Amino acid sequence: MTPANQSIFIKALLRQPTPRTPIWMMRQAGRYLPEYRAVREQAGSFLNLCTNPELACEVTLQPLRRYRFDAAILFSDILTIPDAMGMGLNFTEGEGPTFSKRLTTAEDIRQLPIPDPCTDLRYVVDAVSLIRKNLASDVPLIGFSGSPWTLATYMIEGGSSKNFQKVKSLMFEQPGLMHELLDKLAQSVAAYLNAQIEAGVQAVMVFDTWGGVLSHDDYLEFSLRYAQQVKQQLRTDHANGYIPSILFSKGGGLWLESMSNAGYDALGLDWQTHIGEARQRVGAKVALQGNLDPLALYASPEVIVEKVKTVLAQYGHGSGHVFNLGHGILPDINPEHVQAMVEAVHSFSPAYHGIS
């Protein structure tokens, strides 16, 4: 078997030749799968599922049993770091994540600890180790974290937000304090991802879910700056091989040139960005991941196949493309529609690659 760090997924992230375009899917271990829902019911709550390494391992592996995905992604949540900082993470069905505490003062921010991932987030490290033992040796495992900016939005807003009034007010009124928080979060994210690398992941991804709510200058100062700081602290030259990194900013199509200079090996694209134009803009600096509209999976399998073919054609010939959705899969998608997407990538992408 090919080692995971020599897989076509890793090769594509490093813009090396591949026989076809690799594919995985954001939220591929999730509610659209009946077997996931069964394990979630067994766990009793989403948080119990995240914090149980054995169950997290099981749901990570489930989609690989169904589909010919080229990578697994650790089952966890982007908000594990704030929870480890003592914020009190909760999930309410239909409402999304909330925190029992919210950052409201400078003292709140200054008292935040930087978690030790080997103790405060041990369940994640243990899950990575367990998944790696149970995952086929030729399938890479992706580790991940929320970006410093995205974590800050949840911690200041207390949960999800429609207008981000609280976090932007702090950013505008007390930029120095916001930088203190983001610096602390960048250190925490880097330590967390490094612990996942040590435990066995072969690639890491930073999810900047809310970067796109910022203006041009604010994105560069408060989001990208700290994603870049995380990258600079990552220990990617590992004994088991180089660990590629992916940066995904939802709504980040405006800043691709700046993002491509942040040091990451690949950029994730949402569905609103034309992948061919993105490729022209970033050149050979980074690989690109994406970017089928997640709602296309509600269409018939025949339509899905055509949409897949369009994305492949827009990227064009050559390596450096990892097929994915432009955001996470929605929970009520028919699993057979995912199958249509995966098989279309396997069937039609070899024509864009010059090796066999």
Give all domains of the chain, ordered by start, each with its CATH number.
Answer: 33-296 (3.20.20.210)
Q: Name the catalytic one among 77, 83, 120, 126.
A: 77
Residue 92 has pLDDT above 80, yes or no: no
Residue 118 has pLDDT above 70, yes or no: yes
pLDDT score recorded for residue 95: 66
pLDDT score recorded for residue 20: 98
Q: Name the catalytic one among 15, 32, 36, 40.
A: 40
Q: Name the catalytic one among 15, 27, 132, 279.
A: 27
Q: Name the catalytic one among 32, 36, 67, 154.
A: 154
In tens, the pLDDT along 122-134 reads 999 999 999 999 9
Catalytic residue status for 66 = no
User: Does residue 89 sit in helix, strand or coil?
Assistant: strand
Residue 219: Cβ within 10 Å count? 23
Catalytic residue status for 123 = no
Catalytic residue status for 77 = yes
Residue 121 has pLDDT above 90, yes or no: yes
Residue 135 to residue 141: CA distance in whole angstroms = 8
In tens, the pLDDT along 261-305 reads 999 999 999 999 999 999 999 999 999 999 999 999 999 999 999
DSSP string, 57-83: HHHHHHHHHHS--S-EE----TTHHHH
Q: Which residues are annotated as a binding site?
A: 27-31, 77, 154, 209, 327
pLDDT score recorded for residue 161: 83
CA distances from 263 to 130, 194, 198, 246 (A): 30, 16, 20, 10
Residue 223: which of 236, 207, 234, 235 has the closest Cα? 207
**pLDDT cut 90: percent of the chain above it:** 91
Catalytic residue status for 37 = no
In tens, the pLDDT along 1-44 reads 567 778 999 999 999 999 999 999 999 999 999 999 999 999 99
Residue 87 to residue 155: CA distance in whole angstroms = 8
Q: E-strand spans in the chain?
A: 72-73, 89-92, 96-99, 141-146, 203-208, 237-238, 241-242, 245-249, 266-268, 287-292, 321-325
Q: Judging by DSSP bridges, how do beta strands 287-292 and 321-325 pair with one another?
A: parallel
In tens, the pLDDT along 207-264 reads 999 999 999 999 999 999 999 999 999 999 988 789 999 999 999 999 999 999 999 9
pTM across the whole model:
0.96
Q: Round the average pLDDT of the chain to a whole number and report it.
A: 95
Q: Residue 354: pLDDT band by 50, 70, 90 thresholds?
A: confident
Supply 232's token pair.
């600079």
Residue 185 to residue 64: CA distance in whole angstroms = 32
Q: Which residues are annotated as a binding site for substrate?
A: 27-31, 77, 154, 209, 327
Residue 289 to residue 85: CA distance in whole angstroms = 31
Q: Residue 94: pLDDT band by 50, 70, 90 thresholds?
A: low
Q: Are 204 and 213 in contact (CB under 8 A)?
A: no
Q: Look at 290 and 92; give whichever has higher pLDDT.
A: 290
Catalytic residue status for 154 = yes
Residue 39 to residue 58: CA distance in whole angstroms = 8
Contacts of 37 (CB under 8 A, 6+ apart): 31
Residue 197: Cβ within 10 Å count? 21
pLDDT score recorded for residue 1: 55
Q: Judging by DSSP bridges, how do beta strands 266-268 and 96-99 pair with one another?
A: unpaired
Q: Residue 98: pLDDT band by 50, 70, 90 thresholds?
A: confident
Angle (CA) 117-123-126 rounded to 5° is 90
